[in-house]
Each structure stands twice: as structure tokens, then as C-alpha cells.
A and B are shown apart, each in its own frame.
Chain A
Amino acid sequence: MPSRRIFLRNSALAMVGVGSAPLWLQRALYADVTGARKKILVAIFQRGAADGLNVVVPHGERAYYRLRPTIAIPRPALDASNRDDAAIDLDGFFGLHPSLAPLKSLYDQNHLAIVDAAGSPDPTRSHFDAQDYMESGTPGLKATQDGWMNRALPAAEGKVSPVRAIALGQTLPRSMRGVQPAVALQSIESFQVRNADAAKQFESMYTAAKDPVLRATARETFEAMAMLQAIQRQGYTPSAGATYPRGRLGQSLQQVAQLIKSDAGVEMAFADVGGWDHHTNEVGQRPSEGQLPNLLREFGGALTAFWKDMGDRMQDIVVVTMSEFGRTAHENGNRGTDHGHANCMFVMGGEVKGGKVYGKWPGLEKEQLYEGRDLALTTDFRDVLGELVARHLGNPSVKGVFPGYDPKFLGLVG
């Protein structure tokens, strides 16, 4: 058996080299030797600091309504008439923003967990620093060169897939940077040399390049390109009638889904979505309208579509969301909120112990607020990510992923 596998591997490699190997053969190349399906982690970054208090609404908290007279999301409705504009109750205290209605059933089926009052302990209220700290996984430490996702990739055995770690976007995000190969792509379709003849010429030139590092990188590139082209040729229709929203996040998650379902060897994926920095007019005249509700509709729609599309494969997948910090507990003078501290995180997956809001609620009374103004932090984001790295991905070296920190697991998975 092993010899046959090696034979397959070598001959397929030769074909990959000229970009003509069929997809099944390429898959065989990167299939795990043990035959077990790899666990996959998908991270979503909400850039701009989402207003967690209007995403997961503490409707059981009086101070919430006192602090936000014009932008609070109303308590869950008892009758059907105004349900669209009220929080959707989760556990009698917390509720989802009405634009996240599609996520409610996932929560009820225990596949969606929420961690509230979570985030980075660093006090900075700078988007730039806070994103940097969260992505490097080392709050307060600027010297860190690589990102937590790159460090979290389990040590590779044998040949690794060229698309093992992927980020949707123009450049490789901080989270993914580091020594392990990781690929940034705008889309599967665009990851190719535009002219097939030129591609061949380039490939033969780079195969003969003098610089060994350049040669090796070029090989990775052409392998990834061949694989992505083969995947692209197959076309893609999401399963189970899933429809991804048209915005950036929906489209990114659809690409991730397509890659995972083609068994290309994805283990780690990253997508981001901006526009959460709502200093003015956060919600419209109705709580279900306006900037934040529109974004949340896209956000919830993208997660739900991904869930539907992936079907049984969600057993091997965890999706986790984060944002650099939360927003002030009180609204400002422009029906918006300013930069705050703790936020909420979503964790979704087949093996996630969902249907629960995790974390200790610190309260919103003046003396309970962080620096007198923001939701206090009770769960370090590394507790959430650390557990996923250790228990979901099975990486034993969590301390190497989050140096200087000892994550306390919440029991989200496993």
C-alpha cells in the first residue's frame, strides 16, 4: 500500500507540475496518511469594533436601557406584531439582535455558542493597536512578528497542501503571517496567471531559477494554482439551497466552503468584514434598520449559509468570530457608540457545545463598568481561541501559540 501511495504521489506531482492533474488525483496527494479527516478552523474578524451590546442584547439588564435611550434593542416581544424590532430571547437574560434571527435555530440546536464580555485585556482603544494585538495573539506586545493562526497550524507531516492555510483578501492578514506557508487569495477564480501560455513559460523559467528559495516558492505557487484551477473548473453550487449574501463576508465564506468541500486540504481559513465602527446613527428609526442591522443581516446570513452549505462536514469545522474591542455601554450624542472594551464572540460548529451564553456577566452599573464607561472583560479572547487550538485542532502547544498566557478553557468543544 505505501508504495502505491508513493507512486500515486509522485506521478500526480508530475502532472500537477503541468497543471493537468485531475482533482481526485491532486486530492490523493495531500490526503492525510491516516485517512482521518482534518479538523478545520475558520476565523472571522469584524474590523472596526462591533457593538457587542447591540448584537447580543442584555435585555434583562435595566442599565442597558437607561444607558441607551434611543439605540437600545427592545426587550423580546410577547406578541407577533413587533417581533421584527425586538431582541430574540436566548435564555431569559440575553437576546440576539433581530437581524440575526437565522442564527436562533442554530443556537437552539446547540451548534452555536456565544461568549460574552470577552476580548483583549489590553486597555488600548485604538483600532490599529487592538487589531494588531488580537491578530498577533499577544496583547500589549508589539514585537511579535507572526500571527496566532500561523503558530496554531499543527506541525505538518509529509507533504502539506498548498492551500492548507488560506485568507480571503488581497494581502495576508496579520493573523496568518509566519513561517508556515499561507496563501492570500481574492477568490479561487482569480488565483491564476491570466494567460495559459505565459503560465507555462513562467513555470519552466521558475523551475530553472538559480535561487533555491525562489524556486521552492514558485513550486508552491504553481501547485496552489493548479489545484485552485481544478477546483474552479468543477464549478460550484452551494448545497441544501444555501444562499450566501452578496457582501464581502458571504462571498469569502462561499470560497472557503468551496475549498473545503473539494478536499483540497484546508485546515485554517480567515475572512474579515469591515464597517463596524458606528459612531453615528448606529441603528435607524426602527431597531431592525440602519447601519448595524444591515451589517448584522449580512453577518448572520453568511454564517447560516455556510452552515447549511457545509452540512455534515460541520462536524470537523469550527467557526469563531472576533472584533478588536467593544463599544461604550452608553450611547453618544449622535445615536452611536464610541470605542469601548469587552465584546462578544460567536463559536459555531458541529461539535460545539452551543445553546449557551458563556462567560461571567459583569453588569452595566456604573461601578461595574470598565473605567466607568465600557463593558468589563471577564473572558480573555485567548481562552476561547486557545481551547479551539488545543481541543478542536488538537495542537498540544497552546502556550507556543499564545506565548506568556495560559488559556483557561470554557468547555466550548470536545
Chain B
Amino acid sequence: MRNRVVLGLTVMLSVAAFPAVASYARKRAAENRGFQNQIASDQKIMQALNRLTFGPRPGDVQAVKAVGLKKWIDQQLHPEAIAENPVLTAKLQTMDTLRMSERELVRNYPTPQMVRQMVSGQMPFPSDPDRRLVLTRLVERFEKRQAAGGDPNQQAPAPDVRKLNELLTPQQIRTLRQGTAQQRLDAFLALDNVKQDEVVAALPAGMRQNLFAAAPPEVRRRIELANGPQQVVARDLMEGKLLRAVYSNRQLEEVLADFWFNHFNVFLDKGADRYMVTGYERDAIRPHVLGKFKDLLEATAKSPAMLFYLDNWQSVGPNAPQARGKKGASGLNENYGRELLELHTLGVDGGYTQKDVTEAARCFTGWTIQQPQRGGTFVFNRRAHDDGEKTVLGVKIPAGGGIEDGEKVLDIVARHPATARFISRKLAMRFVADDPPEALVKRMAETFQKTDGDLRAVMKTMLESREFFSVAAYQSKMKSPLEVVASAARALNADIDYAFPLANQVAQLGEPLYRKQEPTGYSNNSREWLNSAGLMARMNFALQLADNKIPGVKVNAADLTGIALGSPEFQKR
């Protein structure tokens, strides 16, 4: 807080210095002209494709022309009416985790500790007998490794090459090492299921990767399971995101899913969240990206993923029955209350105080998770709730309330003018320019307030504005790593067989998907992506993709394709 005050003061002082004001005003005026001057009509199509999709594919410009730009934008604003790309649907089919509830995920893709609980009867096994067998064998290996004091820095059990010699004949090993893709696969499929799993566990990384590349989806699943079942969940998430970004016909919806997940960021690697992020993105974020902001906000507030990530599930009112009963039980946790105001709604300069944070946090006491370690669900626990009187942003919330105290807070903040402004500005930063013109933000905020936070209407105001199609906006944004990778794949009409190597590229470029630890999410200011390591990684990615060196992806590239994808122009959108 003190930092912010100091910062605010510095800004005020520098504005007060007279010559600075003059030059600031001149710069502002020039920028405003830049946001009024319109780009040519062909550029308008490029601008729309660059901002509303993960980058144009060959033929997209003509396709938009054929429909008409205005109509095409309108279609993207109504994704439910766009038929989905059957190629995408087929590719997502094998990723069963994307369709599972939290509870199903825990049971089918457990951590080693959970498998042990299943073995000891504390937790039910999955119903599928084959999956049950796979898991039982996994726990054996896990325990062996534990007993041997294995390397804890290694995520998967270390392959045991000696074991491989016991399992297979020298001829079989030779085939798996040097055979053609088909020979490798045949040799592997000739083994029975039990042996397959043992072989996978014993294969050195290179051979495992080669087998993976040749294998059909079901066999890949078994190989992934051998790497650790809980990692499959993360892998599907990242692959799903990449595949959708590249292949979906509902491009704007994908761009917005990325934007809003990032706005309401949660971190995949924070404990129980590893099983909650899948449902969070699918059920809390996606359905609302073009709906009412209030609904989106409430869905995140009641999601186990957010409750766990920002610790609200542990927050107990100091005077709640639970706190009185148990000595030393944890007390009020302000984490969610603070981020709700600072990051999700009003913004850091939205005019709230520390007292508002504490009072909001009191309202959310009792909003918790049933059995978080087992893929729990949202539940209101009255015994943890502080039902005293509170005042949030000047609104009195009377004593004696329950779950509705928190709901009242969501109502207050969702309809607060600061929220309309903060959200509008953030959208304009993503879609128009890093420093969007105030006039545009103001009009968007007016739409937000007039329509009770209808995000489709706010988007419409922005996409119909002169500023969106202005010289100052055109090509002004640096692509994020996800945008670089997806747009390159789209530009080359890449054929993606499996996408996690591409997801790893996104991480190497500096944006590990679902793994932004801070609640701020990744910055919407595209300058953040400009650093040495990232820039170099972009050039190498471009060359690797064009040379077909990234596993799982095939492209038809010409001589200079790699150079073009690594060029300064391609880093912009």
C-alpha cells in the first residue's frame, strides 16, 4: 500500500513539473490523432484477424472478405452459432480429462499418495478395471523408489535399463531402438498389457519418445500414465489449449477464454488445484466470456480452484462458531478479499481501503471446499462464517447473514463504476493498444454500466470503434508466447498430431501455460514479453518449427519460412 502511495505521489509530482506537462500533452495529442487516423480496408481485415484470432491462416483474408468484415466480426461475437472444426473435435476426443469432474480426475489420475490411499481402502479405485491395474502397478514402482531413496528432483520414476534386458529379448530391444516407426509399434503391441506398462517404465527417455511418436492415441495414454497419472491432467490442459488456439473456428471465444482465465488467474501447481483447473476453465470461465460479468465473477468466486488458490477455503471468521470451538484454528484470510478488489474488479486505484478488504474477507468466511484433496466442491460452512455486521465500499451488510453476505459483495463490486472502467481498460489493452485511448475506455465503460456488465456489448463497442481500426493500434502489440506459437502453426497450416512439445515451446518462450504463480496473471502490457532470453527463444522456435524439428508437428515450409517467423514483424500483431 505504501508503495502505491509513493508511486502515486511521484506521478503527480512529475505532472506538476511544468515543461513535463507540456510535452506530455503534446505526446498525448499526437497519440490521439494516431487513434483517429484509419487504416486501409485490407489492413482492417488483417487487424481483425490479428486481434480476434490466434493469427491468420492462409486463405483467411479472402474468407473474411467473402463474408464481409462486419458480418465476420458479428459471427465471432456469437460463437455458439459457429460450427466447430471437426478436426479439433477429433483431436480433443482422446483427452478424457477435459470432460471429467474434479472427483473423476482424482480417481482416474491420482498422485502416488492417493494411489496408496486406494490400496489401503481409504479411497475408492476407479471403476475401469484396466485403469485399476495400471494404478496398482504404479504404486508398486513408486514404493520401490521411495524405499531406495530415489532422486526427489526427478518427476517420473527413473527408467531401469537393466530391467529392460529382463523383460525383452535382444531382438525386441533392437527393434524398439532402431526399427522404423511401424516396426517399433508392432513390437510393442505384440506384448501383453502388463508387460507393455513395465516396458514403458523401463525405456530410456529417447526410446520412449520414439515409441510415443509412432503410437496411436490409446497407447500414448498408457505411456503418459507411466510418466505419472497426475501429470496427464496438466498435459491435457496444455495440449487442449494449444489445439483449440490453432484449430478452433470459434477463435474469438478462444482468445477470450485465454484473456479471462488470465484475468482470474489460478496456478496449476498449487496443491489440490492440479485437479481443479480443468473444471475451472471449462465451467467457470468459458460459459461466461461473452456473458454478464457478474456471472463470470460469481462462477470464479464459487469455484474450488479459486477458493483454494487464494486460500479463502481456510478463512474462518474470528467470532465464528468454529473458531470459538477450536483453539488455534486459522483465522481470517484476506487473500481472496484483497485480490477480488485489486485484481478482479475495482483495480488497484479503484478507491477501496484496507478496511474494505478486511470487511469483504469477513463476508466470504465460510465459502469453502468440501474435501479439497479429493477434488472437492464448493460449499458454504455456516460454522466458519462471521455473521456480524459489515460495511463494504460504504454499503452496510446487516448482521445475521450467511452465504448471501459474499454474494452481496460480488453484487456491489460487479456494478461499481471503477470495475466498469478497470475491465474496459484491460480489454482495450488486450485488443487495441498497450496504452489505450481514454475516450475509448470511457465509451466501453459506459456500455458496461448501461448493460449491467454485458461483455458482448462491451466488446461490440470496442470492435466498432475508430480506435480499434486506427493507425496507432495497427501492429502495435507484441505477441505473447502463446500467440507466437499458435500464430506460427496457423500461418503454416501445421498438422499437429500431439501438442505438448508445442506447449513446452510456449513455456520456453516465457509463458508456462496454467503456471503463472502470481494472482496478477501474465501482464497485458505486451512490452513484458520483450527480454533477451524470450527473444532468442522466439528465433529458435521459428527455425525449429520450419525445420520440422518440433515433435508432434508437421509443416510444409519454404526456404525462408523460419526467418520470416522469427522476424520482428511476426512478433507483432
Contacts and interface: CB of A to CB of B under 8 A. Distances in A.
A217 B241 CA distance: 29
B267 interface: yes
Given A143-B4, A185-B533, A295-B152, A205 B567 contact: yes
A172 B535 CA distance: 13
B533 A184 contact: yes
Contact of A142 (B146, B510, B519, B533): B519
A237 interface: no
Nearest to A123: B330
B338 A220 contact: no
B3 A195 contact: no
B36 interface: no
Contacts of B539: 193, 198-199, 202
Interface string B505-543: 001101010000111000000010011110110011001
Contact of A132 (B339, B518, B567, B568): B518
A236 interface: no
A198 B563 contact: yes
Contact of A280 (B146, B339, B510, B566): B146
Contact of B3 (A144, A206, A217, A273): A144
Nearest to A223: B532
A338 to B, nearest CB: 13
A291 interface: yes
Among B512, B533, B540, the one with the most A-chain Cβ atoms within 10 Å of its Cβ is B533
Contact of B544 (A126, A128, A194, A217): A194
A214 interface: yes
Interface in A273-316: 273-276, 278, 280-281, 284, 289-291, 293-295
Nearest to B476: A211
Contact of A275 (B2, B152, B328, B335): B152
A258 B27 CA distance: 46
B571 interface: yes
Nearest to B147: A281
B315 to A, nearest CB: 13
B151 interface: yes
A171 B562 contact: no
A162 B533 CA distance: 11
Contacts of B536: 191-193, 221, 225
B2 A142 contact: no
B508 A194 contact: no
A336 B536 CA distance: 42
Interface in A178-211: 181-185, 191-195, 198-199, 201-202, 205-206, 209-211
A224 B146 CA distance: 42
B103 interface: no
B478 interface: yes
A171 B527 CA distance: 16
Given A162-B532, A198-B562, A291 B567 contact: no
Contact of B532 (A183, A291, A403): A183
Contact of A289 (B1, B149, B535): B149
Contact of B531 (A143, A172, A192, A276): A172
B572 interface: yes
Interface in A107-138: 126, 128, 131-132
A290 B532 contact: no
Nearest to B339: A142
Contacts of A411: none
A218 interface: yes
Contacts of B348: 143
Contacts of B282: none
Contact of B153 (A162, A183, A192, A247): A247
A209 B568 contact: yes
B153 A217 contact: no
Contacts, number: 123
B387 interface: no
B342 interface: yes
Given A210-B568, A214-B530, A142 B518 contact: yes
A142 B265 CA distance: 14
B270 interface: yes
A213 B533 contact: no
Given A126-B311, A132-B517, A198-B562, A181 B152 contact: no
Contact of A194 (B478, B510, B519, B540): B540
B2 A126 contact: no
Given A247-B153, A289-B149, A372-B328, A126 B270 contact: yes
A211 B543 contact: no
A9 interface: no
A284 B568 contact: no
A183 B535 CA distance: 11
Contacts of A235: none
Interface string B1-37: 1111000000000000000000000000000000000
Nearest to A293: B149
A172 B146 CA distance: 32
A290 B152 CA distance: 10
A241 interface: no
A194 B568 CA distance: 18
Interface string A232-263: 00000000000000011000000000000000
B544 A214 contact: no
Contact of B152 (A143, A162, A192, A291): A291
A403 B508 contact: no
Contact of A211 (B150, B270, B572): B572
Contacts of B527: 213
A170 interface: yes
A406 interface: no
A275 B155 CA distance: 10
A280 B147 CA distance: 11
B532 A142 contact: no
A130 to B, nearest CB: 11
A61 interface: no
Given A217-B530, A289-B149, A205 B328 contact: no
A2 interface: no
Contact of B270 (A128, A183, A293): A128
A143 B269 CA distance: 20
A404 interface: yes
Contact of B328 (A273, A371, A404): A371
A171 B512 contact: yes
Contacts of A132: 517-518
A201 B560 CA distance: 10
Contact of A170 (B3, B507, B519): B507
Given A144-B3, A202-B566, A224 B532 contact: yes
B153 A281 contact: no
Among A195, A210, A403, the one with the most B-chain Cβ atoms within 10 Å of its Cβ is A195
B542 to A, nearest CB: 9
Given A141-B3, A191-B536, A214-B571, 11 more contacts: A142-B518, A143-B4, A181-B531, A206-B568, A217-B531, A247-B151, A275-B151, A275-B152, A276-B152, A278-B152, A291-B150
Interface of A: 126, 128, 131-132, 141-144, 162, 170-172, 174, 181-185, 191-195, 198-199, 201-202, 205-206, 209-211, 213-215, 217-218, 220-221, 224-225, 247-248, 273-276, 278, 280-281, 284, 289-291, 293-295, 371-372, 403-404
5 contacts: A143-B4, A174-B517, A183-B533, A185-B533, A198-B562
Lowest 8 A-B CB distances belong to which pairs?
A: A275-B152, A209-B568, A290-B149, A221-B532, A275-B153, A184-B533, A217-B530, A221-B535
